[in-house]
């Protein structure tokens, strides 16, 4: 009733994504939240389809750069750009290139670069659409540069 966004953070074992995401989906399906983003999403495209079909946004973090999550490039290619958000999860989930360092907000650029690479689209397009998606989701006013 407050019309606030809901951010859902689900952590799953890289070897068994299914159980946690299936449970979360079942719980969310019992409620009618209008504005949900799945934070640091990391599962298979067939499960992502359920969340997308429910109208949720999918957010990607530095996890998309980790070699131990081989499903993520496929997932990034599956999720439409207009349903995607980018994040750092700073100070955690530092992108692979800077792993071992404290994650900082500026590293969202590395997430955007990975998305652009996986989707074979220009980085500027990822940046533009991700910004538009975030402004719409959080009901932010665009500030002229």
Tokens standing for residue 61: 């973090």
pLDDT in tens, 116-127: 999 999 999 999
Residues 71 and 44 sit within 8 Å (Cβ to Cβ):
yes
Q: What is d(CA 144, CA 103) in angstroms, rounded to the nearest whole number?
A: 28
User: In this predicted model, what pLDDT tens digit does every residue of 71-100 receive, in sequence order?
Assistant: 899 999 999 999 999 999 999 999 999 999
**For the chain, which domains are there?**
6-137 (3.20.20.140)
Q: What pLDDT sits at residue 43? A: 86
Least Cα distance to 96 among 107, 84, 87 occurs for 107
pLDDT band of 143, cuts 50, 70, 90:
low
pLDDT value for 44? 87
Looking at residue 31, what is its pLDDT?
A: 86
Q: How do residues 56-76 score in pLDDT, each as one tens digit?
A: 999 999 999 999 888 899 999
Tell me if residue 25 falls in helix, strand or coil: helix
* Rg of the chain on CA atoms, in Å: 15
Tell me how long the chain is: 145
Q: What's the rounded Cα separation, in Å, for the pair 49 and 69? A: 18
Chain mean pLDDT for the chain: 91
- The whole-number pLDDT of residue 17 equals 61
């Amino acid at each position: 009733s407050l019309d606030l966004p809901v951010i859902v953070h689900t952590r799953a074992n890289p070897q068994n994504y299914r159980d946690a995401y299936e449970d979360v989906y079942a719980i969310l399906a019992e409620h009618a939240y209008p504005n949900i983003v799945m934070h640091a999403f990391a599962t298979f495209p067939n499960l992502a389809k359920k969340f997308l079909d429910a109208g949720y946004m999918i957010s990607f973090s530095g996890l998309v750069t980790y070699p131990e999550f081989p499903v993520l490039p496929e997932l990034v290619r599956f999720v439409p750009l207009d349903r995607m958000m980018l994040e750092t999860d700073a100070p955690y989930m530092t992108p692979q290139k800077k792993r071992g360092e404290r994650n900082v907000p500026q590293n969202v650029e590395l997430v955007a670069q990975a998305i652009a690479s996986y989707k074979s689209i220009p980085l500027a397009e990822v940046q533009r659409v991700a910004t538009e998606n975030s402004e719409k989701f959080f009901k932010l006013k665009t500030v002229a540069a």
